[in-house]
Amino acid sequence: MTREKFLLEIDEILDLPAGTLRGDEKLEDIETWDSIALINLVVLAETQANASITPDQVLTCTTIADLLRLAGVEHNPPVSKE
Amino acid sequence: MGTENKASQWEVPKALRLPSAPADILLKRQALKKELYKQPNLDSTRIAILGGSTTIEVMSMLELFLLSGGIRPTFYESGYNRYSEDVLFESPDLWDFRPDIVFIHTTWHNVLHFPELLESEVEVEKRLNREMARFESLWEKIHKELSALIIQNNFDLPQLRPLGNLEASEPYCRINFLHRLNTAFSAYARNHSRFVINDIHYLCAQVGLAAWHDRNYWYSFQMAVSPSATVVLAQNVAAIVKSVYGKTKKCLILDLDDTLWGGVIGNDGVENLILGRDHPVGEAFVDFQRYVKNLKRRGVILAVCSKNDAEIAKQGFSHPDSVLEIGDFSVFKANWNPKPDNIRAAALELNIGLDSIVFVDDNPAERAFVAGQLPEVAVPDVGSDVSRFAEVLEHEHYFDVVNVGQDDLSRSAYYSSNVGRSAYQAEFRDYGEFLDSLEMTAEIGPFLPVYLERITQLINKTNQFNLTTRRYTSAEVETISQDPAFVTLYGRLADKFGDNGLVSVLIGHVTHETVELDVWLMSCRVLKREMELAMFDALVEECQVRDIRKIVGVYIPSKKNGMVAGHYASLGFSRLDGASRDRELWEYDVPQSYSAKASYIRRTLKTLPTGLNA
């Protein structure tokens, strides 16, 4: 799955118009981010990204970019948090 | 209604049908719900979900499947694992909600009285009665005081069976115990109206135990049923609710050639039909006919809709291996008219609505035509393989019935029970006595290196019982834990049923003689256990030791932390004027002598689970 496709899937899970998310958003800033969305993202990562991803790993994500990286579709390097 | 609209209404339920993968349904739920909410004339119902594990996913999926059945639900959701307390102690929120239906979502994880290894049969019997009494006390109270219909899960099976096959036969083993509990639940269901079993014992076998329970989701979210299995579970519960509301289908309309027998009777003649035990496909047709015959026996109306010459078509039922007889069909439409016309005519003759009809045809073009012309008719995608027809019909739960009628839902229906009052209910006079019985012990102290990872995780995922919703990286937490200018406290809580783990975190920074609380959070799984009081007691003690005279509490309201808006007021803090509404400040003077607020939690010294403690 490509980065774009994955972003579109997340748009759908979060009930956002297609193309809303660009990758640099913080999960907490997204209005529709809730526990259902979190569970769904784990399901998405498991089923669509073909990656062996555990809920625990998704729980550590704070941005959309973290999720993309976890799913193996993000090519931009992580921004330093320091 | 325009044709376009009709088509889209048909498309949405289709997305919920076989062969849709559960993952697709999970991921597309938002869009599906939006479409379904557009339907006109939705019935409404009020459902209280009382959970023994996390129920948010169950609720979301149930909403979806009820909507697809024309029912708009309003939900009440109990706190995590508070299915029993909510009822026994009459949670005002639940009582005010006035549910039509109470769904108790418990699983084997919620069994409290499993036998000990090698225990005698007499002892096991006592445990069985105790467990049953516990549940019966809930059911009786719900029936008597809430007058609600109860949907109760029976028990699924654990993946692990330490004693292997012995688990099936020995009374002290979990699997044998669960089977006996299920039998007892079933007996209760038979003897009580307005009580329906949601058979998760079957469902866990249907999806397979490995798919039913996923350890990752259990440990991360306390979901006893995996998301994909939750789809199946919700569909099953929705089927019960739909049948309670009389949404069960009444009539099955069948095609003939290649649906009830193999071959085309008009060309091949009755003697050459593929039907009977001497042919593998013929045997599958016999089995499907038997399945249909059983539907008829329990009251489903049968009809035929086939492109055929009527006289020739009827000969098919004189075939020696035909299970169905011509007399089984209330309406027989074999002609060359378009099928939607025939189905409309059949509905008129039977005086039933199109929405109570299911149409089965092996021909995809006919199915699409009927579905397009008559969107109210259920047209399952049965494919062309007769051996799968029955399975597809069952998957849709079209004809599921429960032994309750519409009257049973009425609030005025009186209830009487001959079941004696349970021992469990009488066990506690009030909530305090219940808390006392939990034998809670808390381990509370300054951050320890071994807990830093869990502390960071809680800080970053807790939303509800979280006064400030401040997030910290693990590096920041580590720095704080070593900095004497901070007060840090973690809390673990255990009770007689097990260890809840590390559930509460508190961080404050000290300036002169004042500590300001930057973080105070608690996991919702220990709500209303007085754990927040125990944390406060520990904080006050810490302040006394360090000569801190004043505690300043910070509350930053968020969309999700409304439950702690009154937290500081309830602890005796006074609100400081002048602070902004986005960031409330509360003040508490540390007294010289202080008496602990938590009265049901015993504090213990730290006992590290890893055995690292001195």
- Give the tens place of pLDDT for each residue, B379-391: 999 999 999 999 9
Interatomic CA distance for residues B440 and A3, integer angstroms: 49
Residue B138 contacts residue B192 (beta carbons within 8 Å)? no
Q: A82: pLDDT confidence band, cut at 50, 70 and 90?
A: very low
State what percent of residues in chain A have pLDDT above 90: 13
Query: What's the mean pLDDT in B7-32?
Result: 70
**Range with the poorest average pLDDT among B136-150, B239-253, B321-335, B423-437:** B423-437
Q: Identify the pLDDT of residue B427.
A: 57
Max CA separation in chain A (angstroms) = 33
User: How would you classify residue B572: left for phi > 0, otherwise alpha for psi between -120 and 50, otherwise beta?
Assistant: left
Of A55, A38, A40, the residue nearest B216 (C-alpha): A55
Residue with tokens 């026994």: B88
CB-count burial class (<10 Å; 0-12, 13-18, 19+) for B119: middle
B79 touches chain A (CB under 8 A): no
Report helix, strand or coil for B307.
Answer: strand
pLDDT at B111 over 60: yes
Superfamily of the domain at B438-604: Gcn5-related N-acetyltransferase (GNAT) (3.40.630.30)
Nearest CA in chain B to A52: B216
Q: B284: pLDDT confidence band, cut at 50, 70 and 90?
A: very high
* Degrees, nearest 5: CA angle B175-B180-B184: 145
B457 touches chain A (CB under 8 A): yes
Same fold across B45-245+405-409 and B251-395: yes
- Look at B56 and A59 and tell me if their CB atoms are within 8 Å: no
Q: Which residues of A touch B219 (CB under 8 A)?
A: 55-56
Q: Which residues of B touch A12 (CB under 8 A)?
A: 27-28, 30-31
Average pLDDT, chain B: 88
Of B64, B133, B80, the residue nearest B527 (C-alpha): B80
Higher-pLDDT residue of B357 and B10 is B357
- Look at A40 and B23 and tell me if their CB atoms are within 8 Å: no
Q: B103: pLDDT confidence band, cut at 50, 70 and 90?
A: very high
Higher-pLDDT residue of B422 and B89 is B89
Q: B7: pLDDT confidence band, cut at 50, 70 and 90?
A: very low
The alpha carbon of B68 is separated from its chain's Cα centroid by a whole number of angstroms, namely 17
* Degrees, nearest 5: CA angle B301-B305-B307: 165
Q: Which two tokens stand for residue B295?
A: 């539907």
pLDDT at B246 over 60: yes
- Look at A59 and B461 and tell me if their CB atoms are within 8 Å: yes
Beta strands B550-555 and B584-589 are antiparallel
Q: For an interface test with B, which of A7, A10, A28, A47 has the most B Cβ atoms less than 10 Å from its Cβ?
A: A47
pLDDT at B9 over 70: no
Top mean pLDDT of A43-57, B412-426, B514-528 is at B514-528
How many CB pairs below 8 Å do chains A and B form together?
57
Residue B302 contacts residue B296 (beta carbons within 8 Å)? yes
What are the sequence ranges of the domains in chain B?
A: 45-245+405-409, 251-395, 438-604
pLDDT at B195 over 90: yes
State what percent of residues in chain B have pLDDT above 90: 66
pLDDT at B607 over 70: no
CB-count burial class (<10 Å; 0-12, 13-18, 19+) for B59: buried
Q: Identify the pLDDT of residue B18.
A: 55
pLDDT at B403 over 70: no
Query: What's the mean pLDDT in B235-262?
Result: 92
Give the relative orientation of helices B29-37 and B56-68 as an angle to the nearest 10 degrees: 40
Q: A37: pLDDT confidence band, cut at 50, 70 and 90?
A: confident
Q: Identify the pLDDT of residue A81.
A: 47
Interface of A with B (CB under 8 A): 9, 12-13, 15, 28, 35-36, 38-40, 42-44, 46-47, 54-56, 59-60, 62, 81
Q: Which two tokens stand for residue B530?
A: 């007085």
Q: Topology of A3-18+25-70 in CATH?
A: 1.10.1200
Q: How many CA atoms lie within 13 A of B354 on its CB side?
A: 14
Max CA separation in chain B (angstroms) = 101
Interatomic CA distance for residues B150 and B153, integer angstroms: 10
**Which of A12, A42, A54 has the CB atom closest to B31's CB atom?**
A12
Positive/negative CA dihedral, A30, A33, A37, A42? positive
* Helix, strand, coil tally for chain A in percent (to 5): 50, 0, 50
> A80 to each of A22, A76, B192, B461, how far by Cα in Å?
18, 12, 63, 21
Q: Which residues of B touch A9 (CB under 8 A)?
A: 27
Q: Which two tokens stand for residue B334?
A: 């074999």
- Sheet containing B43-51: order of strands: B71-77, B43-51, B101-105, B149-153, B195-198
Query: What's the mean pLDDT in B568-588?
Result: 90
Q: The domain B45-245+405-409: what is its CATH number?
A: 3.40.50.1110
Q: Identify the pLDDT of residue B13.
A: 61
pLDDT at B52 over 90: yes
Q: Topology of B251-395 in CATH?
A: Rossmann fold (3.40.50)
Q: Identify whether B609 is preceded by a cis peptide bond (ω within 30 of 0).
A: no
Q: Identify the pLDDT of residue B507.
A: 97
**Which of A59, A62, A81 has the CB atom closest to B220's CB atom?**
A59
**Range with the poorest average pLDDT among B401-405, B441-445, B525-529, B596-600:** B401-405
Task: Give the phi and the psi of residue B537 in degrees, each rounded to 5.
Answer: -55, -45
CB atoms within 10 A of CB A47: 16
B33 touches chain A (CB under 8 A): no
* Total-model pTM: 0.75
Q: For an interface test with A, which of B20, B26, B34, B222 has the most A Cβ atoms less than 10 Å from its Cβ?
A: B26
Beta strands B195-198 and B498-511 are unpaired
Q: B243: pLDDT confidence band, cut at 50, 70 and 90?
A: confident
* Degrees, nearest 5: CA angle B97-B466-B537: 105
Q: Identify the pLDDT of residue B14.
A: 63
Higher-pLDDT residue of B215 and B428 is B215
- Look at A59 and B28 and tell me if their CB atoms are within 8 Å: no
Top mean pLDDT of A30-39, B28-37, B513-522 is at B513-522
